[in-house]
């Protein structure tokens, strides 16, 4: 990971890109003096509550359905430790390092609001995990919104559990010792702070925003290639016509398509060959644009959550004049709905791509060799890659089922409406990966179709995209092992620098 960049938490709102920079690109996370002052003010309120003996949920009481059990003295420190150990009960495959780092980063941003009451040494220890690349091994399953994922991160501070460190999975105790970091001594409310709030779903969603942004731009490029390969009627993208339906995303996609196809001899030579194209060809601005508008909505929702105080209870005021308020800010409905809607949008991007690529290989509608190979019959060509795309589309339809509707009751009826936001974010990640593979297949097929249309000139953007693929994947002259070709195309779509280098005018 590159560590050239630094993200500073101060007074200004943070962006989802800041979380991605820390989680994926290895940027260092730093708290300003004002952020530390906010954290210390809230911790001083906790100490005042403990000293007064006041009943306050999670500060001087048990948790969940045990909220009326009062605790004091050493019991408060023990409660924090026990909270982490008892809540660290997730199951299933572990999250990727970048996913866990995104959750960690988002939790620290939440604590920096100064409404939680967590001790400064706890936040310092979380920062050390991030900035020294000690990444807890966090099971991916078991969250109804929060709790289990953060608990697995929290036990790392105690020297419990396993972590990814220097390319290996080792015990947390080993990694902390190697970095000279002592286990953290927890106090009142620390345990609850460490498992509470919405950092899991919000951090995971920040990564998803980055992937969706990149894939939607690639969808325009690859869709333009398919449009050109099928000799589409460019009038469908006319600026005056598109302006009559002024959805912002639709305007941007149509502009992208016109720019990508500018100068195309294939398009110029094809004007008037049919009255209109199939909907999957002529509705690219409408479908891709709608997905972009959902992405813009998700960005707003997730950034609001990222900069919110999402614990329960929250601490207001100063140690001399404070309020401790039990409420429901850890409920992640806004993020859950945003992630669910974005999963639906990305499933649609994959769905329309599958319809376009199916038309490319079908000689009844493409006017190209069957399955895009010379000597079809002895060669199967690109026949079965369409099956793969269809399978991925089917899986995405399943993943598009909203998680937020799957409500359950937990904690003895105390927590009886749950967002399932972390599940929504995780299935969004899977939908995005499926969409990347579908677009990679369409990219392969559209590029192969270009082989049968040259020497006519292609659009200024589509030609660059075709040549970029050909640097990595040769033309398909006869049947060969296709899985590596799909992997090579998918890798291009994963690299954020290639869009900027090869297609710098794309938005």
Enumerate the domain spans of the chain: 6-196, 205-502
Distances (CA, A) of 79 to 64, 74, 138, 298, 373: 13, 9, 22, 36, 67
Domain 6-196 is found in CATH 2.40.30.10: no
The yes-or-no verdict on residue 1 having pLDDT over 60 is no
**pLDDT digits 0-9 by tens, 222-279:** 999 999 999 999 999 999 999 999 999 999 999 999 999 999 999 999 999 999 999 9
pLDDT at 506 over 80: no
* pTM of model > 0.85: yes
Of these ranges, 1-15, 310-324, 409-423, the one predicted with the greatest mean pLDDT is 310-324
Mean pLDDT of 358-376: 89
Residue 348 scores a pLDDT above 60? yes
Can you tell me the mean pLDDT for 472-488?
A: 95
- Fold that domain 205-502 belongs to in CATH: Fumarase C; Chain A, domain 2 (1.20.200)
Segment holding 85, helix H or strand E: helix 74-87
Domains 6-196 and 205-502 are alike in CATH topology: no
d(CA 419, CA 333): 5
Per-chain mean pLDDT for the chain = 93
Structure confidence at residue 411 as a pLDDT band (50, 70, 90): low
- pLDDT of 83 strictly over 60: yes
For residue 174, the model assigns a pLDDT of 98
Active site (catalytic) residues: 57
| Higher-scoring residue by pLDDT: 62, 202 | 202
Q: Which long-range contacts does 473-478 make (Cβ < 8 Å, 24+ apart)?
A: 473/444, 473/447, 475/448, 475/451, 476/372, 476/373, 476/381, 476/382, 476/444, 476/448, 476/451, 477/373, 477/374, 478/373, 478/374, 478/375, 478/379
Question: Is the confidence at residue 317, as pLDDT, over 70?
Answer: yes
Mean pLDDT value across residues 320-324: 94
Which range (143-152, 184-193, 197-206) has the least confidence? 143-152
């Amino acid at each position: 990971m590159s560590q050239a960049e630094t993200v500073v938490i101060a007074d200004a709102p943070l962006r989802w890109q800041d979380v991605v920079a820390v989680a994926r690109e290895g940027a260092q996370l730093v708290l300003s003096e004002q952020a530390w002052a906010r954290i210390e003010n809230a911790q001083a309120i906790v100490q005042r509550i403990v000293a007064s003996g006041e009943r306050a949920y999670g500060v001087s009481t048990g948790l969940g359905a045990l909220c009326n059990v009062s605790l004091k003295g050493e019991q408060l420190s023990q409660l924090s430790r026990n909270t982490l150990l008892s809540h660290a009960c997730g199951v299933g495959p572990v999250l990727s390092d970048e996913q866990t780092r995104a959750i960690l980063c988002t939790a620290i941003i939440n604590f920096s609001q100064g409404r939680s009451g967590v001790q400064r040494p706890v936040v310092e220890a979380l920062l050390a995990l991030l900035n020294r690349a000690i990444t807890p091994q966090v099971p991916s399953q078991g969250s109804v919104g929060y709790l289990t994922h953060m608990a697995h991160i929290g036990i790392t501070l105690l020297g419990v559990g396993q972590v990814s460190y220097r390319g290996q999975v080792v015990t947390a105790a080993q990694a902390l010792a190697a970095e000279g970091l002592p286990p953290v001594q927890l106090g009142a409310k620390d345990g609850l702070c460490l498992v509470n709030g919405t950092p899991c779903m919000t951090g995971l969603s920040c990564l998803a925003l980055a992937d969706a942004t990149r894939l939607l731009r690639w969808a325009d490029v690859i869709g333009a290639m398919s449009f050109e390969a099928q000799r589409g009627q460019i009038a469908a993208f006319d600026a005056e016509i598109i302006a009559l339906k002024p959805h912002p995303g639709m305007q941007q996609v149509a502009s992208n398509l016109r720019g990508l196809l500018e100068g195309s001899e294939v398009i110029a030579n094809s004007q008037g060959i049919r009255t209109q194209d199939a909907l999957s060809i002529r509705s690219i601005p409408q479908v891709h644009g709608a997905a972009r508008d959902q992405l813009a909505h998700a960005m707003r929702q997730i950034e609001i959550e990222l900069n919110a105080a999402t614990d329960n209870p929250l601490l207001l005021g100063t140690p001399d004049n404070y309020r401790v308020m039990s409420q429901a800010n850890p409920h992640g409905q806004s993020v859950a709905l945003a992630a669910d809607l974005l999963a639906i949008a990305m499933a649609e991007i994959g769905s329309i791509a599958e319809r376009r690529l199916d038309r490319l290989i079908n000689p009844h509608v493409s006017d190209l060799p069957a399955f895009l190979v010379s000597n079809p019959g002895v060669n199967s060509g690109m026949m079965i890659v369409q099956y793969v795309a269809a399978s991925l589309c089917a899986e995405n339809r399943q993943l598009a089922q909203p998680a937020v509707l799957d409500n359950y009751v937990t904690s003895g009826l105390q927590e009886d409406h749950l967002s399932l936001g972390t599940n929504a974010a995780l299935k969004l990640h899977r939908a995005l990966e499926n969409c990347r593979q579908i677009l990679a297949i369409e990219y392969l097929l559209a590029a192969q179709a270009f082989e049968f249309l040259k020497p006519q000139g292609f659009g200024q953007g589509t030609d660059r995209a075709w040549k970029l693929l050909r640097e990595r994947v040769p033309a398909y002259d006869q049947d060969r092992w296709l899985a590596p070709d799909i992997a090579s195309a998918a890798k291009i779509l994963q690299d954020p620098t290639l869009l900027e280098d090869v297609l710098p005018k794309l938005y």
